[in-house]
Each structure stands twice: as C-alpha cells, then as structure tokens.
Amino acid sequence: MSEASHTDSGAPDDGRLLARLHEMFRESDPPPADVVELARQSFTLRNLDAELALLVEDSDRATGGQGRHRAVAVRGSGKPPEPRQLTFQFFDPRTRDELLIAIQVEAVGVRRRLTGHVAPQGAVEIEMRQPAVPEARQVEVDQLGRFVIEDVFPGPASITCRREGAPPVATQWTLI
C-alpha cells in the first residue's frame, strides 16, 4: 500500500500528535449544530422543475476586472467598494431558448440591494430564495424586465424566473 511511505517517513510520535489534533478539532471546533441543521433543511429549497442559469460573469472573479464597471456614487462615509456585477445565463440549444439575468449587488449596511434585469424582455415573474428565509420572496418586475430587491440577507441566494410558455429558470446558488 502506498500509505506506508507516508507513515514511515514521519518522526515516531507524528502519529500521536496527529491523533491529538484530530481529537482537539473534534472536541473544540465541530460544525455548529444550527449550521448543519440549516444544511439539512436546505433540501426543501430544491427547485425541481427549473432549468439552471449558470453564473457566467462575476466581477469579483474577473482578474483585473476592477474599474471595468462604472463606479457609483459613494453613499455616506462607508466608502463601499464597487458594486459586484453578476450575469447568469440559461441557454437550451434544442429550442434556442435563452435567458440572461444580470444583477448588481450593493452592500447597504449589513444587508444587500440587488438591482437587476432580465433579457429578453417579456412577461416574467421573479422570486428569490434564501436558506435564511422560509418563504420564497416575490419580486416586482417592470415592463423592461428590471427589478430591485432591497434588504437582502448576505448569504446564498437564488432567483427564479417564470415565463409564459417556457420552463422556469433558476440562477445557480450564489453567495452574495
């Protein structure tokens, strides 16, 4: 077995020290029970009928992407960083059905404000889901496909778009 080469090379008491570390983390830093419970409950957030819109652009992930987007007015003295820009895309090559959801994420105090739009335009209903919130939140969309969601908790979020005559589309879970 290849493991022999790992265990043999160490100092004689390496194994004991590793075992002590194992015990220490097991006793002193286990996953918090409430956090594990929330992960279990997230099962109810499955969105079985929805197609997945993938995150195709994230200004926080782009290298050297700072300054690519226009800076917005600085509110108060907190000097918030540039808003984060997210773009989600769903495309079905068979039907050529495509949906783009662009969202700007701003920090407002400890909450977030999401400003977004859906393209192409058309009648669409939007709802947002978060594990910290039991019910999906309905969001108003104007005729141009624009929407604003205030007072969003920081944490994972997913937005579902429901359209006439097309499958619903949900954005992939994203930490905002």
Using the minimum distance from each CB to other proteins, give the nearer residue, 41 or 121: 41
> φ and ψ at 42, to 5 degrees?
-60, -15
> φ and ψ at 175, to 5 degrees?
-80, 120
Q: Rule CB under 8 A: say whether 164 interacts with other proteins.
A: no
R_g of the chain computed on alpha carbons? 22
Using the minimum distance from each CB to other proteins, give the nearer residue, 31 or 76: 31
Distance of CA 10 to the CA centre of its chain: 42
Q: Work out which of 23, 49, 140, 150 binds other proteins, going by CB under 8 A.
A: 23
Cα(138)–Cα(151) distance, integer angstroms: 13
Using the minimum distance from each CB to other proteins, give the nearer residue, 53 or 149: 53
Q: Rule CB under 8 A: say whether 3 interacts with other proteins.
A: yes
Report, in Å, the least distance between residue 122 CB and other proteins. Answer: 25
Q: Work out which of 114, 124, 152, 158 binds other proteins, going by CB under 8 A.
A: 158
The footprint of other proteins on residues 34-53 (CB under 8 A) is: 35-36, 38-40, 42-46, 52
Q: Residues 164, 148: contact at Cβ < 8 Å?
A: no
Q: Which residues pair with 166 in a beta bridge?
A: none
Q: Rule CB under 8 A: say whether 24 interacts with other proteins.
A: yes
Report, in Å, the least distance between residue 32 CB and other proteins. Answer: 7
Buried/exposed code over 16-48 (b: 16+ C-beta within 10 A; e: otherwise): eeeeeeeeeeeeeeeeeeeeeeeeeeeeeeebe
Cα(96)–Cα(80) distance, integer angstroms: 39
Report, in Å, the least distance between residue 78 CB and other proteins. Answer: 11
Q: Residues 153, 132: contact at Cβ < 8 Å?
A: yes
Q: Work out which of 49, 56, 61, 68 binds other proteins, going by CB under 8 A.
A: 61
- Which residues of this chain interact with other proteins, rule CB under 8 A? 2-3, 5-7, 9-11, 13-15, 17-32, 35-36, 38-40, 42-46, 52, 60-61, 66, 79, 81, 84, 107, 131, 154-156, 158, 172-175
